[in-house]
């Protein structure tokens, strides 16, 4: 069972990365020209507020000490207040996690539902008409800008067919899922093009590879060759690809949430940038980064569960 | 010169994917260069009499809410978007290649430091980091290029580094070392040319990525600023009219898709030509 | 020959290439008897693997088709049988094993399950019975602890055990015929002997008929009943092994036999070189108690274990100018590390290495300067050893320019001389490695080594990747160059027969240490150490009456039977 030993110490390896994330988010805000206290407080900068924030973040101290105060505040779950919403940044973000998380999860599931059958179909008819069609569609689809694809889906499904809502998020679970269908479909369509290409390549390599040859040489039917040997061996690189693409996926949600006015973290980030709400920008960037690290950790566990060769 | 190009042309001709991709890119380049000649109308000048006209013979792509000809704006937009894709890739490519070569070949502390930096940058979702940097530098194309150069090099560095790690154990690298060749000579003359094919192919799909990101950032209002004709901006401007004037959003989006398709096809073709597997 | 089981008649296989069809297998006919081992011998490109794939229509590419001929098994023509029938034949009647067990076994599946899978599907039994049968097969193919090893994954086993597992997978369907495609090429010589022994045992115990594909006439001589010699898709001759080896009919077969390193003629060609120059000459290479250790990478934080791996442990060796010394050992013996350390390419952990009087440790700069100008290396994989983007001429020109050994204007002339020296036409200056054969690339690699005017050449397994006839040519080239240029040669190889032909002195390495050294004829005639004896005994001799000694059991240096190489690094 030593295979899973890394679950214990892998988080230790993430420490330098987490440290780096905090350093970058810290530097980002300090790079803004002007008095940091005024920058952080925006238009609300009364002399007393400025003095308070100076004290809290040690803004008149040397920069390395400021970073130390920043970490100290962070350790206490204190990331400052939003100028726009006038509440704690972390509390604000907490209210925005659900839509984003639901969107990412449903998009990943949907993209797998689209990609796995299509990639299998293409790989098994390698060179045939089905393969050509799938390849053409995935190559073409990779260039669809998510924001534009979202609008096209709205024109078709919401305006023409009146099937789905144009924007917003619901109250009940069913209502929320209903509102998530088009946004999730937008991201899933984009993501599945990447997945199809990668899966198809991996499957074709496996189908032509030594492993499949050996299985056929002992008379295994093509279905066993494919499902027992080719499929698991092709999924390993695809899981890694998904993990690598999680950052890209989150980028997609930022845009798509803005198009559909979904009250998630992405929409929050864009609004914060426009209203110069830097504390929120800093907080959202940091939470997104930590989420990415977490996803990679989960991908590691899944990979180890599938592939006994990996043991780190 | 023509003699040197002959085998290259032969290789291209035998690959319809590559040929189609290159032709598409050539068309876009031509349109971008000749925009002032081809575009029938001024892309910025507003005309209150021609608001929200559907596509017609005089305005093949229709007009927007300011009465501007969409067709002309799409043509002028080619200049901006092609530039986004190319400049947004060139600098990351150069930086990443140098960093990857050094980190992979030298190994040791240099490698550890660069790999840590790369890990940290990769921990941030690409678009989130881009937006955060742009938030600080202020909206605009220049900020976008700076952010690209700061963030985009990591993919190239990783690709080249991985190749270098394999190639530096190749026997011809050992041979070069045993013959007293200098480090830079081995790195840049012997190993890099053999390591770079993967990056060249990737740079084509990266062009797609950068084009989509640049357009997305402009769509969000943080990149190219109106009234400049840029496809992402145009989509954003058309969004309020999707129920009534779909043509304002449709055509700039299709242009992005087509240009991206050109890059994708070229990338696939190059991958086939250079023997690079994804 | 016993009763015929499989009969191949006028088989032709055609490749539909871009420049028109090419015949890769041309009108091939042979029979396989019951319980017989038939050796299919040929060099690369002879079509021996493709022939066997064609028997069960397992074509490596859709562009390959059986154009004509028949493959008769039990009165059925396999070339015309429907797909479902042929699938029933594969595995059930004709099983296959391959050269590289690592890529042919499923890395994600326990080896026991891989064997059980075939049993379930071909015999239609339930999981429990399949498991029991799989355990039985594991024991048959030589797994000492089947119950425990059933659950191992392929990567947890050594190369030899993986090959045993693959044989087990092939046996799972209980075939009558086993096709073994170069089953031992990737293995060390002592392990090779064990696997060959296993195949022969299985033939006895199960009455298997075996088609053994190999490039090594020695293996055929030791294990087969009959031999078929293939070249460029044609069958040159076929017959009882004693007839073919003793009275070869075809000139190519004669050449193939003459090229085999264990042939007496090739050994006779070894001229004991001049007495080691002047008796009190200074050694060119002096190695004193050399240790090379590498940090163990990928070691987890909690698993403990050694931090370092010792590749070379306390080796001392002297090489006199003009000497030819062979270093032999199996994979992991540290022979290549030793070579790299003495050329200053790998850091030395402890001890001293001096080249021509300059100590690499204490006078590093001076020694390296000397080494770079007076020593050169020749490598195993001729394609990997040359930069694929440079023409041979450009490569040599660069060496000459960097070394400044000849004036600029003399470089083209010198390139011509070097090509002459290694027996390449001068037009090769304009060619790139990928357009050349392995032997030609190896000659170019030797030319590069000669470009520095070396005193010492270190050849690391430099003929291991080549066909036998080419091997013989390269060995001859070395012998010739050594005489003409007064070279000192350090020849590293796992193939003892080649070392025996070329070297005056031989050094045997095992696990980073020298276990035996001495004049070649003495070591081969009367090896002192058990390991050397086993190593020499395991070389397949081309003389069928000199039986293969399989070092089975008891010998502590053969870890093979210890089975599971545990997962802990």
Q: What angle do CA B39, B42, B48 make, to 5 degrees?
A: 130
Q: What average pLDDT does the segment B96-117 reach? A: 92
Over 90: is that where the pLDDT of A80 sits?
no
> Which residue did the predictor score with more confidence, C473 or A8?
C473
CA distance readout (Å), C14 to A126, C6, C11, C20, C237: 22, 22, 10, 10, 22
> Which residues of chain C have a CB within 8 Å of the CB of B194?
387-389
Class of B68-274 in CATH? mainly alpha
Q: What angle do CA C161, C165, C168 make, to 5 degrees?
A: 140
Share of chain A above pLDDT 70, in %: 96
Q: A225-280: per-residue pLDDT in tens?
A: 999 899 999 988 888 888 888 888 888 899 999 999 899 999 999 998 888 888 88
Please tell me the distance from the alpha carbon of residue C271 to that of residue C261, in angstroms, as a whole number. 15
* Nearest residue of chain B to residue C341 (CA atoms): B178
Share of chain B above pLDDT 90, in %: 61
Q: C280-295+307-541, superfamily in CATH?
A: P-loop containing nucleotide triphosphate hydrolases (3.40.50.300)
Structure tokens at C87: 């699938």
Structure tokens at C144: 């000492």
> Which residues of chain B have a CB within 8 Å of the CB of A144?
257, 260
CB-based contact (8 Å) between B10 and chain C?
no
Res A163: pLDDT: 82
Q: Which of B175, B180, B193 sits opposite C377 (nearest CB)?
A: B175
CA distance readout (Å), C379 to B174, C372, C444: 9, 16, 11
SS3 category, C235: strand
Domain residue ranges of chain B, discontinuous segments joined by +? 68-274
Res B136: pLDDT: 87
Q: Mean pLDDT per 10-residue run, chain C (569 residues)?
A: 86 88 90 92 87 90 89 90 89 90 90 91 87 92 91 89 92 91 86 89 90 90 91 91 89 87 58 51 89 72 63 91 90 88 90 90 89 91 90 93 89 93 92 90 93 92 86 90 90 85 90 90 86 83 70 40 34
- Banded model confidence at residue B47, pLDDT cuts 50, 70, 90: confident
d(CA C162, nearest CA chain B) in Å: 26
Cis, bond preceding A178 (omega within 30 deg of 0):
no
Res C305: pLDDT: 56
Whether residue A217 and residue C153 make contact (CB cut-off 8 A), yes or no, is no
Res C226: pLDDT: 93
Task: Calculate the dihedral angle through the C-alpha atoms of B19, B22, B24, B25, rounding to the nearest 10 degrees.
Answer: 180
Whether residue C399 and residue B179 make contact (CB cut-off 8 A), yes or no, is yes
Which of A2, A6, A202, A214 is the mutation pick for testing C, counting most C CBs within 10 A? A214
CB-based contact (8 Å) between B174 and chain C?
yes
Res C567: pLDDT: 32
* Nearest residue of chain C to residue A230 (CA atoms): C106
Helices (H), C10-158: 48-55, 83-89, 101-104, 111-123, 127-140, 146-149
Res C158: pLDDT: 87
Left if phi > 0, otherwise alpha if psi is -120 to 50, otherwise beta: which for A307? beta
Helices (H), B124-196: 126-137, 141-151, 153-167, 171-178, 183-184, 192-195
Res C557: pLDDT: 39
Res A192: pLDDT: 93
Whether residue B125 and residue A154 make contact (CB cut-off 8 A), yes or no, is no
ipTM of this predicted structure: 0.90
Q: Which chains border A (3 or more CB–CB pairs < 8 Å)?
A: B, C
Res C301: pLDDT: 45
Over 80: is that where the pLDDT of B130 sits?
yes
Report chain B's mean pLDDT, rounded to a whole number. Answer: 90
Residue pairs between chains A and B whose CB atoms are closer than 8 Å? 161
Over 50: is that where the pLDDT of A289 sits?
yes
Domain residue ranges of chain A, discontinuous segments joined by +? 89-306
Per CATH, the number for A89-306 is 1.10.3720.10
Please tell me the distance from the alpha carbon of residue C261 to that of residue C218, in angstroms, as a whole number. 9
């Amino acid at each position: 069972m030593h295979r899973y030993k890394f679950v214990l110490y892998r988080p230790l390896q993430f420490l330098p990365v987490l440290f780096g994330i905090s350093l970058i988010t810290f530097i980002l805000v300090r790079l803004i020209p002007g008095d940091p206290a005024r920058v952080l407080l925006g238009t609300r900068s009364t002399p007393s507020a400025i003095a308070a924030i100076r004290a809290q973040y040690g803004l008149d101290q040397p920069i390395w000490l400021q970073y130390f105060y920043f970490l100290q505040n962070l350790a206490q779950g204190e990331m400052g207040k939003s100028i726009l919403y006038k509440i704690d940044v972390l509390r604000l973000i907490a209210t925005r996690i659900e839509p984003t998380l639901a969107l990412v999860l449903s998009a990943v599931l949907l993209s797998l539902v689209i990609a796995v059958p299509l990639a299998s179909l293409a790989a098994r008819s390698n060179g045939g008409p089905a393969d050509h069609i799938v390849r053409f569609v995935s190559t073409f689809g990779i260039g669809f800008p998510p924001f534009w694809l979202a609008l096209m889906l709205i024109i078709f499904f919401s305006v023409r067919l009146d099937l789905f809502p144009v924007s917003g998020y619901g109250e009940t679970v069913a209502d929320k899922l209903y509102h998530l269908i088009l946004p999730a479909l937008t991201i899933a369509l984009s993501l599945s093009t990447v997945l199809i290409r990668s899966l198809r390549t991996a499957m074709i390599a496996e189908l032509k590879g030594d492993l499949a040859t050996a299985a056929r040489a002992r008379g295994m039917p093509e279905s066993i060759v494919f499902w027992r040997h080719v499929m698991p061996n092709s999924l390993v690189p695809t899981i890694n690809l998904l993990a690598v693409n999680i950052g890209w996926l989150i980028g997609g949600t930022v845009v798509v949430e803005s198009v559909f006015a979904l009250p998630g973290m992405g929409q929050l980030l864009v609004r914060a940038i426009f209203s110069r709400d830097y504390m929120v920008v800093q907080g959202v960037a940091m939470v997104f980064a930590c989420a990415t690290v977490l996803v990679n950790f989960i991908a590691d566990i899944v990979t180890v569960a599938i592939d006994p060769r990996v043991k780190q | 010169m023509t003699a040197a190009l002959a085998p290259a042309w032969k290789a291209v001709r035998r690959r319809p994917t590559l040929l189609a991709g290159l032709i598409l890119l050539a068309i876009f380049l031509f349109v971008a260069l000749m925009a002032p000649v081809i575009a029938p109308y001024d892309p910025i000048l507003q005309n209150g009499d021609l608001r929200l006209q559907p596509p017609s013979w005089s305005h093949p792509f229709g007009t927007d809410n300011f009465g501007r000809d969409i067709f002309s704006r799409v043509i002028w937009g080619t200049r901006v978007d092609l530039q986004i894709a190319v400049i947004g890739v060139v600098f990351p490519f150069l930086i990443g290649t140098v960093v990857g070569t050094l980190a992979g070949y030298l190994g040791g502390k240099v490698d550890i430091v660069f790999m840590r930096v790369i890990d940290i940058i990769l921990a941030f979702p690409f678009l989130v980091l881009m937006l955060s940097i742009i938030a600080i530098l202020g909206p605009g194309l220049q900020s976008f290029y700076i952010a690209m150069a700061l963030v985009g090099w990591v993919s190239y560095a990783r690709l080249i580094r991985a190749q270098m790690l394999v190639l530096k154990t190749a026997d011809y690298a050992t041979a070069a070392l045993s013959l007293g060749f200098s480090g830079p000579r081995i790195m840049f003359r012997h190993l890099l040319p053999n390591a770079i094919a993967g990056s060249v192919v990737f740079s084509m799909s990266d062009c797609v990525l950068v084009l989509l990101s640049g357009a997305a950032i402009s769509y969000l209002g943080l990149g190219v600023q109106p009234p400049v004709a840029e496809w992402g901006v145009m989509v954003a401007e058309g969004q309020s009219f999707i129920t009534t004037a779909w043509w304002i959003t449709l055509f700039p989006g299709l242009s992005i898709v087509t240009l991206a398709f050109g890059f994708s096809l070229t990338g696939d073709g190059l991958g086939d030509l250079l023997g690079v597997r994804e | 020959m016993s009763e015929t089981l499989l009969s191949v008649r006028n088989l032709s296989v055609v490749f539909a290439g871009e420049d028109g069809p090419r015949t890769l297998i041309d009108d091939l006919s042979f029979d396989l008897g019951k319980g017989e081992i038939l050796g299919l011998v040929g060099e690369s490109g002879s079509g021996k693997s493709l022939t066997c794939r064609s028997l069960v229509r397992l074509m490596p590419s859709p562009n390959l088709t059986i154009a004509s001929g028949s493959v008769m098994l039990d009165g059925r023509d396999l070339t015309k049988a429907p797909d479902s029938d042929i699938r029933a034949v594969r595995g059930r009647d004709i099983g296959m094993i391959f050269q590289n067990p690592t890529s042919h076994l499923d890395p994600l599946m326990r080896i026991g399950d891989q064997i059980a899978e075939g049993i379930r599907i071909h015999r239609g039994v339930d999981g429990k019975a399949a498991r029991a049968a799989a355990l039985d097969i594991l024991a048959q193919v030589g797994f000492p602890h089947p119950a425990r090893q059933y659950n191992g994954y392929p990567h947890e086993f050594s190369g030899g055990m993986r090959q045993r597992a693959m044989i087990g997978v092939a046996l799972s369907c209980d075939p009558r015929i086993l096709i073994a495609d170069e089953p031992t090429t990737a293995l060390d010589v002592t392990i090779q002997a064990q696997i060959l022994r296993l195949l022969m045992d299985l033939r006895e115990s199960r009455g298997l008929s075996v088609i053994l594909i190999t490039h090594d006439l020695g293996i055929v001589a030791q294990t087969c009943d009959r031999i078929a010699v293939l070249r460029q898709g044609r069958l040159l001759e076929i017959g009882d092994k004693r007839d073919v080896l003793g009275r070869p009919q075809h000139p190519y077969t004669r050449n193939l036999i003459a090229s085999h390193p264990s042939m007496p003629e090739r050994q006779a060609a070894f001229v004991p070189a001049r007495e080691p120059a002047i008796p009190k000459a200074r050694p060119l290479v002096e190695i004193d108690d050399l240790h090379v250790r590498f940090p163990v990478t990928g070691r987890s934080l909690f698993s403990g274990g050694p931090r370092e791996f010792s590749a070379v442990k306390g080796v001392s060796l002297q090489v006199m100018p003009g000497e030819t010394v062979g270093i032999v050992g199996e994979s992991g013996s540290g022979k290549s590390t030793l070579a790299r350390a003495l050329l200053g390419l790998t850091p030395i952990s402890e001890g001293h290495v001096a080249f021509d009087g300059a100590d690499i440790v204490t006078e590093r700069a001076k020694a390296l300067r000397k080494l770079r100008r007076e020593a050169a290396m020749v490598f195993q994989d001729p394609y990997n050893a040359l930069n694929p983007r440079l023409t041979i001429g450009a490569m040599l020109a660069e060496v000459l320019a960097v070394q400044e050994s000849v004036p600029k204007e003399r470089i083209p002339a010198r390139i011509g001389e070097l090509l002459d020296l290694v027996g390449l036409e001068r037009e090769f200056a304009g060619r790139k490695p990928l357009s050349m054969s392995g032997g030609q690339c190896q000659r170019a690699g030797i030319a590069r080594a000669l470009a520095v005017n070396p005193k010492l050449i270190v050849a690391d397994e430099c003929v291991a990747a080549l066909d036998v006839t080419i091997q013989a040519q390269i060995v001859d080239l070395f012998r010739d160059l050594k005489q003409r240029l007064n070279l000192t040669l350090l020849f590293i190889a796992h193939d003892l027969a080649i070392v025996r032909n070329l070297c005056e002195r031989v050094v045997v390495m095992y696990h980073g240490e020298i276990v035996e050294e001495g004049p070649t004829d003495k070591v081969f005639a009367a090896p002192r150490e058990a390991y050397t004896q086993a190593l020499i005994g395991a070389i397949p001799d081309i003389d069928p009456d000199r039986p293969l000694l399989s070092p089975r059991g008891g010998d502590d240096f053969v870890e093979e039977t210890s089975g599971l190489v545990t997962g802990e690094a």
